[in-house]
Amino acid sequence: MSPEIKFPTNPFEDIKPSEFNKLNKKHVTEDFVSENLKNLGWDVYSPFNDTGIDRIIIKSVCPEGHTEVNGNLKNKKCPICNKESIGIKRFVQVKTRQLKNNIFGFTLKSKDIRIDPRHIYFLYSDNTTAEKQDFLIISVKQYLKFFIDNSINPFAPTSFRKGNNKLNSLKYNSSTDKWSWGRHSWEAYRNIFGMEKIQDSNVDINLNIEIERTRELADKLQRVFNKGSSYSEDTKNKINEELTKNLTEYKDPSKIINLRKKVEKYLQDNCDQITIDSMNKYFEFIKTLDTIGEEEDGD
Amino acid sequence: MEINNKSIAYAFIANGVQIFLNDEDYFIASKLVCSDCGDSWYMNLTECFLCGAKNPFLFRCSSCGSFQSITKSSGKCNSCHSENLFIMCPNENCISNKDSNINKEANSFGGVFNKNSGLLIAQQYCLNCGSQKHQYKSYKVFIRSVNTNEIILKDLNLDLNDFTKDSILIVKYKTGGSNPQYCLLKYKDLTEQNIKLSHLKNLFSDIVKELFPVGDRKKQ
């Protein structure tokens, strides 16, 4: 633990983060995050054009975890165990919000749930108080595990897949100066403590296993259907049965590939060439969106 | 950003790779790919939450069953002129088509692939091999331009302290008014001072294919 390190700090001494408004703060908030990450020894990379990833951060650390949270062993061996350092990389998605009634409200869509455990959600509260800012920093794996451990599932409602499931459970208690999700503490992810967690090089060393574990967590949460007010109880039950069945069946990847081939053939047999061309053109458009960082409009 | 680096950055973007910059003379090229076969993974692509079929981006008429483009639609079926157009799952055996109640409920929101239905989800299965796993694949990219195919490493002014194991050097070879050719050099290739450029590629897309290859599914 390194509680003596002040993180975050305002790197821009002429202006407070709380003095910006919603319209003019986008650039400064991302810069605020970057400068604070640099202060902890990370090399920070910004997107050439907007993408779903707001920053890639890289540093070299001891594989045994001996590197301080503000250290970087670039081209050096660990001074404690003499082991070669390893490069670690994190893919950071930043969400900046002003607290409303002490709530940090944000939305994560199904496209934001990546199963690479190096994907990090960086939640930036830019006005915890006028003088104080907070980061809540959590990897996708830790995020999913938090919900499993606490029997919460924000991924089951239809609103999650619609992309409008605003999460309003992350709260700041000004009298205790603590962050929590509902009644569960989030202090472990706050500021320097969150940064210590994401610096764990085991994620990089055991990447393949960590990806599998993250997939398992994601499936447990995402492959559940809550009907809400939109669907009937009967539909909910049938859909949940179907999801369980398919999850088991598609453990054999050839099953989903064969299904998709069958569907493709069905469409080829039942569509004229203009419709097929239109479908393919739209597919190419969607593929491009991932590189240029925009979202599909309409349906 | 130096113009040569910028030009290569755009060439990466055109080939579906994302670029990230810092203040140095190199950048990061990154792509989300299938962990098993390396095929591109698209988080903007949606699939049916119920059966995994890929979004066809087509309307289907529930009266006559014909499909039509969603971009050129007049709101009426091209075949029977009904207004019962829904973005349905194209899999005949999907529960959303086989079960009339589910079909009715999904269509009340415009069909499975209308985002209001909540019955679609970002890509979960690889389009090429069916794997459920994806990951970021990225390189630190250094660019150098030369007009001779025999180069001396120190003349390239590479800071080898920055050239880590995940780094690549793309040498752009161009003489006179000719089109550029590209040579990809990896960490292990930079052991000698004198380097003869070989396996030159005429197309930048071939460099991208070498960096982000798509292969058969890994043996489990």
Which residues does A273 contact at the CB level (< 8 Å), separation at least 6?
none
Structure tokens at A231: 């669907």
First-to-last alpha carbon distance for chain A, in angstroms, is: 47
pLDDT tier, B75 (very low <50, low <70, confident <90, very high otherwise): confident
CB-CB neighbors (< 8 A) of B112 in chain A: none
Domain boundaries, chain A: 17-221, 232-292
Instruction: List every span in chain B annotated with CATH 3.40.1350.
Output: 3-40+140-211
Interface test with A, best of B3, B57, B113 (most A CBs within 10 A): B57
**Residue among B189, B182, B176 nearest B207 (CA):** B182
Q: Is the ipTM of this complex over 0.90?
A: yes
SS3 A190: strand
- Cα gap B210→B184, rounded to integer Å: 9
Q: How much is the pLDDT for A178?
A: 97
Q: What does A146-167 look like in DSSP terms, one character per residue?
A: HHHHTT--TTSBHHHHHT--EE
Put simply, whether B157 touches A (Cβ < 8 Å) is no
- Taking domain B3-40+140-211, whether its CATH number is 3.40.1350 is answered by yes
**Angle formed at CA B215 by CA A252 and CA A261, multiple of 5 degrees:** 50
CB contact (8 A) between residue A270 and residue B67: yes
Judged by average pLDDT, the poorest of A213-217, A247-251, B57-61, B67-71 is B67-71
Nearest residue in A to B8, CA atom: A48
Q: What does B56-71 look like in DSSP terms, one character per residue?
A: --EEEETTT--EEESS
SS3 A19: helix
**Chain-centroid distance, C-alpha A288:** 21
Q: How much is the pLDDT for B26?
A: 94
Tell me how close the Cα of B179 comes to any Cα of chain A, in angstroms: 25
SS3 A57: strand
pLDDT tier, B220 (very low <50, low <70, confident <90, very high otherwise): very low
Structure tokens at B177: 């008014």
CB contact (8 A) between residue A259 and residue B53: yes
The one-letter code for the residue type at A135 is: F
Q: How many CB pairs under 8 A join A and B?
A: 224
CB-CB neighbors (< 8 A) of A262 in chain B: 91
Q: What is the CA radius of gyration of chain B?
A: 24
Say if CB B156 and CB B194 are below 8 A apart. Answer: no
Nearest residue in A to B96, CA atom: A239
3-state DSSP of A129-144: CCCCCEEEEEEHHHHH
Largest CA distance in chain A: 68
pLDDT tier, A102 (very low <50, low <70, confident <90, very high otherwise): very high
Model pLDDT for residues A137-184, shown as the tens digit of each residue:
999 999 999 999 999 999 999 999 998 889 999 999 999 999 999 999
Tokens 């973005």 belong to residue: B87
Model pLDDT for residues B165-190, shown as the tens digit of each residue:
899 999 999 988 889 999 999 988 88
